[in-house]
Amino acid sequence: MTALTASKRDPAAALRREIIAAGEPWMGKVAAGQTFRIVDLEGNQAVDTLFYSAAAVEERYSATDTVRRQGGLYLTTGTQLRSNRGNTMLAITADTCGRHDTLGGACSAESNTVRYALERRSMHSCRDNFLVALARWPEIHGRRLTKRDVTSNINFFMNVPVTPAGALTFADGISAPGRYVEMRAEMDVIVLISNCPQLNNPCNAYNPTPVEVMVFE
């Protein structure tokens, strides 16, 4: 985990503030030059997040490009979130958690079945949240975002260590109440969030909780 970096921005100065209820989805736009903050209100809440270019939604966050360009697996202050076209979409400018996952992916009916048990298949999941939010979002340049547009996401505040053998482990979180990650948009972006409803692993202490999002000029 890297050194923590606090922001000088006052939440009272935010242009937009919204609470995302436990286990629910959210979508919104952030303009180039604006700063986007996600606040872990109660601690250890995983926030599954995807970014799309508002100008051309075919351009979107790429875990592969981000990891390769920074030469490291975890995200924190200084990380540039790269697109599948190699462009910087956002840059993390403040981080009071210290490490965020970009490998673990989003929980789904299928992963709940494989990782836990057959009876977990019907449990609410991040992939469900993504699809619900996309279905509600209006067309963008004449087309809708669909399940084909759901790719590998960031898990803000989630702790997914990689073992020496290369396996992923879902470990206890390292966040705490009030910790946040803040990033500056380098292009106009559409943000898609699932405030993770997972109940079967310690990523959110088996207890999904609300988070807050803020946009600053």
Q: For 178, which DSSP code?
A: T
C-alpha distance from residue 61 to each of 15, 54, 64, 172, 214 (Å): 24, 12, 9, 26, 20
Question: Which phi and psi (to 5°) does residue 132 adopt?
Answer: -65, -45
120-145: average pLDDT:
80
pLDDT tens readout for residues 164-217 = 776 666 666 789 999 999 999 999 999 999 998 766 666 677 788 999 999 999
What pLDDT does 88 receive?
Answer: 98
- Beta carbons of 134 and 193 less than 8 angstroms apart: no
pTM of the model: 0.89
